[in-house]
Structure 1
Amino acid sequence: MTTYLPKDVTDGLHAARKQDMARKSRLRVEADGRSFAVLRRWQGGFAVDASVVPPLRGLVDLFEGSSPIASCLIIAAEAEDGEMHYEFKRATAMRHSAPLDFQKDDDAPVALIGQ
């Protein structure tokens, strides 16, 4: 039995795998007002489809669905199998509330009870 697959079949399998990963992924990256699907994410970076996404540089925002995850400073690392890998120089987590400008007491009341 042979394990050789023709080049067009192999290319079709790679394209289907990339399309499936982009469809399943809720992650996206926004740069210059445009949004692109993230195929994979790991601790130090992420990967996008090199044929769809233009070369990215500098400050980008990372989203999961519609909620922001982080503001990232990125650099291009390498291209591999049609994917462009980017690494974080800095990734700052987004806050969902404004930072407090005072210190909260540990025994502060949680709510006010009306009369």
Structure 2
Amino acid sequence: MTTYLPKDITDGLIAARKLAQRKASRLRVEVDGKSYKVLRRWQNGFSVEADVAPRLRGLVELFEGATFLSSCLIVAAAEEDGEMQYEFKRSTAARDQAPLDFQQEEEAPVALLGDFSGLPSGA
């Protein structure tokens, strides 16, 4: 049995795979006010369509829908099958609160209660 496929069928399969990835992914990368759809993401990088996005480099922001995920410093790694692959030099996850500038003890009280002994009871 032969594993050779004609070029037009191979191109059609690649285009169908890209379309499915584009529809399935909610991830996008933003750089210089422009947004590009992320086709795939892995632990230390991601890929975008080579035809659509310019050669990205430097600081970018990664989003899932409207949710900010991380700020990333990237470099171009490789181009294969119409995908431009990028690797993270640094990836800083987004936080929903400011980082603490002190060490917080695990057994610290959550709130302080005042002295209510002078108040009438049953109120």
TM tier, shorter chain?
0.7 to 0.9
The structural deviation recorded for 1:108 is: 4.0
Q: Say whether residues 1:76 and 2:76 are aligned partners.
A: yes
The structural deviation recorded for 1:58 is: 0.6
Structure 1: runs of 5 or more not aligned: none
Structure 2: runs of 5 or more not aligned: 114-122
**Which structure 2 residues correspond to residues 6-21 of structure 1 after superposition, within 5 A?**
6-21=6-21
One-letter identity of the residue aligned with 1:79? E
1:34 is aligned to 34
Q: Deviations over 1:49-105 (max 9, x none)?
A: 101111111100011221111101111111111111111111111111122345545
TM-score by length of structure 2 reads: 0.81
Distance 1:107-1:4 versus aligned 2 partners, 3 A rule: closer
Identity across aligned pairs (percent)? Answer: 67
- CA separation in 2, counterparts of 1:69 and 1:84? 21
One-letter identity of the residue aligned with 1:14? I
1:52 is aligned to 52
**Which consecutive segments of 4 or more residues in structure 1 shift more than 6 A?**
none
The structural deviation recorded for 1:107 is: 3.9
2:61 is aligned to 61
